[in-house]
Amino acid sequence: MSGEHVVVGLSGGVDSAVTAWLLREQGYRVSGLFMVNWTEDEAGYCSSAEDFQSARAVAEELGIPLHRVDFSLEYRRRVFDLFLAGYQAGKTPNPDLLCNREVKFQPFREHALRLGADWVATGHYARVEHGSDGPRLLRAVDDNKDQTYFLAAVARQHFERVLFPLGGLTKPEVRALAQQAGLPNHARKDSTGICFIGEREFREFLSQHLQPQPGVIEDDAGAVIGQHQGLAFHTLGQRKGLAIGGVRGAKEAPWYVIAKHAARNVLTVSQDSEHPQLMTTLIATDDFHWIHKPEPMPARLSARIRHRQSLQACTIACQDGHSVVFAFEQPQRAAVPGQYLVLYDGDECLGSGEISARAAE
């Protein structure tokens, strides 16, 4: 593969910088592609301009060309609008999965191929195995950094001609390589949060886009103990931001969101962090997306319902079309509609489905 052209998604961070350096060291002809997803920065929260300057410094150090492409219209339509619609519907959507599915591995990948790329690469901590039957997505060796959860909604064909050079490395190893290579951003702090929110408080951001719909907060016995400004501002399992003062007869302990009742516009809370309404062994998903569907299906699989959660043993309880219900060996806490259940067979990521509800037990 020496001399083949690979276009690297150069974000300005250390991971993508090391990705480009590694591929150049392996003999690839490397180009960088900086993606602009968000251009509305009325309060100075977005770091896109700073990220681009960092990416440009890396490209200059490596002696590679850097292209800049604006996908902000695609991002607004295919990620941001769906994100807001999800919250308005009472869900808790995940824009990172949407961004990978709708932007990074569609228009971004297509643009790279139009630039003449033989391969497209990103700094994701994941592995992709290219076999005669098509690509397979595998977990990274650094389980703490594994990002297959965020890639699990991408169509299988969009992993064709994709490289993940960091999948076999740990984060400390990547930092060490960046310093060894003299990359100008080797000590740059990892970005956190969502690009269109930046470092601001999440509820503050949502309140600029969603109208308040005040209602009451009830405890698990049905007593009114507070007020909320809208169900969209809360999620199952939430502890902070409930603004519940001292409640007569209640113990001095945190309150947790255990249910949202859209028809009545009521938020239900409890001081039991493992309330039965928060715990379930059966989780239903809609429109399950298979990256690879084994035949026959293994009897025992594993899954996670949020990033960084340890893998949880499960089986497929039933399927109805594209809807799948999963049965877990151990009760799962706060299976939030709008988030994703990501399925694994050993190291292989099989696919994902949006959580629709806890199934009846």
CATH number for 168: 3.40.50.620
pLDDT at 140 over 70: yes
Same domain for 59 and 110: yes
DSSP 299: S
Same domain for 226 and 290: no
Per the annotation, the verdict on 195 as an active-site residue is yes
Domain count, the chain: 3
CB 171 within 8 A of CB 179: no
66 lies in some domain: yes
pLDDT digits (tens, 9 = 90+) for 306-329: 999 999 999 999 998 889 999 999
Q: For the packed helices 14-25 and 171-180, what is the interaxial angle rounded to 10 degrees?
A: 70
User: What's the rounded mean pLDDT across residues 125-148?
Assistant: 96
**Nearest one of 233, 174, 226 to 203, comparing CA atoms:** 233
| Alpha carbon distance 27, 56 (integer Å) | 21
Q: Which of 46, 99, 314, 349 is catalytic?
A: 99
User: What's the rounded mean pLDDT across residues 216-234?
Assistant: 93
Return the amino acid letter for 211.
Q
20 lies in some domain: yes
Task: Using the 3D structure, point to which of 243, 270, 297 is the last residue of a domain.
Answer: 270
CB 23 within 8 A of CB 164: no
Rounded to the nearest 5 degrees, what angle is found at the Cα of 163, between the Cα atoms of 344 and 156? 45
Same domain for 225 and 135: no
The residue that leads in pLDDT, 45 or 269, is 269
Dihedral of the CA atoms 18, 346, 128, 21 (nearest 10)? 10
Same domain for 255 and 290: no
Burial 290-299 (b: 16+ CB within 10 A, else e): ebbeeeeeee
Same domain for 261 and 284: no
Same domain for 346 and 253: no
CB 93 within 8 A of CB 83: yes
| Alpha carbon distance 156, 304 (integer Å) | 20
User: What's the rounded mean pLDDT across residues 127-156?
Assistant: 96
Residue owning tokens 């490397």: 30
* SS3 at position 80: helix
CATH number of the domain that residue 256 is part of: 2.30.30.280
* SS3 at position 302: strand
197 lies in some domain: no
> Domain containing 84: what range?
5-180
203 lies in some domain: no
pTM as predicted: 0.93
- Contacts (Cβ under 8 Å, ≥6 apart) of 146: 125, 126, 139, 140
| Alpha carbon distance 311, 28 (integer Å) | 35
Tokens of 187: 């000590």
Same domain for 42 and 105: yes
Same domain for 105 and 40: yes
304 lies in some domain: yes
Same domain for 283 and 149: no
pLDDT at 245 over 90: no
Per the annotation, the verdict on 349 as an active-site residue is no
Q: Which long-range contacts (CB under 8 A, 24 or more apart) does 47-56 make?
A: 47/191, 47/195, 47/198, 48/195, 50/12, 51/11, 51/12, 51/13, 51/191, 52/12, 53/12, 54/12, 54/13, 54/184, 54/185, 54/188, 55/10, 55/11, 55/12, 55/16, 55/17
Same domain for 284 and 256: no
Tokens of 140: 């990274």
Same domain for 294 and 262: no
Same domain for 295 and 252: no
Mean pLDDT of the chain: 91
265 lies in some domain: yes
User: What is the bridge-based pairing of β-strands 256-261 and 266-270?
Assistant: antiparallel
pLDDT at 78 over 90: yes
pLDDT digits (tens, 9 = 90+) for 157-211: 999 999 999 999 999 999 999 999 999 999 888 876 666 565 556 777 788 888 8
Tokens of 141: 């060796």
Q: Which of 46, 195, 314, 349 is catalytic?
A: 195
| Alpha carbon distance 195, 116 (integer Å) | 28
| Alpha-carbon separation of residue 202 from 92, 103, 209, 212, 350 (angstroms) | 12, 23, 11, 15, 31
CATH number of the domain that residue 325 is part of: 2.40.30.10
345 lies in some domain: yes
Alpha carbons within 13 angstroms on the beta-carbon side of residue 24 total 18
323 lies in some domain: yes
pLDDT at 44 over 70: no
pLDDT at 74 over 80: yes
